[in-house]
Amino acid sequence: MSRQIVMVVMLVGMLFSLSVVGGGNKAEQEGVFPVEAKLYGLDISSNQIIFTVMSHGCTRAEHFSLVLLKDTPITLGVSRVKRDLCRRRAMPMSVTLSFSRLPDTVMNRLKRGDGFCLANQLYSLPKQLK
């Protein structure tokens, strides 16, 4: 009987730790990358995009990719290509990506002033982090 209780407690503990550490969306929790980045803020200049994501302490700009999803109209997406494996409490973090990572044809159109759409959805920060 006590062995069964210990097993149940261990199982509940493992499930709880996965839910606390997981964060992100379902694909990210399952380790399928790249995934659409969950953005909490956005600022765009003529040569870069600055966005806010949740970080557990190890998030870096290299963990994200700016992807051309559609050519006409220009539709871009921010993808997370690597998981943040740290275990600190989630905090908002700004990440900067340069448009220079895009193909030259797209860069030239953006320099000419062509607009673009961003496919990522924007989310509100959780109340405890505001």
- The letter for the amino acid at 13 is G
- Residues in the chain predicted with pLDDT less than 50, given as ranges, are 1-23
Closest residue by Cα to residue 67 from 31, 103, 43, 33: 103
pLDDT tens digits, one per residue of 26-57 = 555 555 668 999 999 999 988 899 999 999 99
pTM for the predicted model, two decimal places: 0.70
Residue 34 CA, chain-centre distance (Å), reads 9
Q: Which two tokens stand for residue 34?
A: 């790249």
Q: What is the pLDDT of residue 32?
A: 66
Q: What are phi and psi of 55, to 5 degrees?
A: -125, 140
Angle formed at CA 78 by CA 108 and CA 107, multiple of 5 degrees: 5
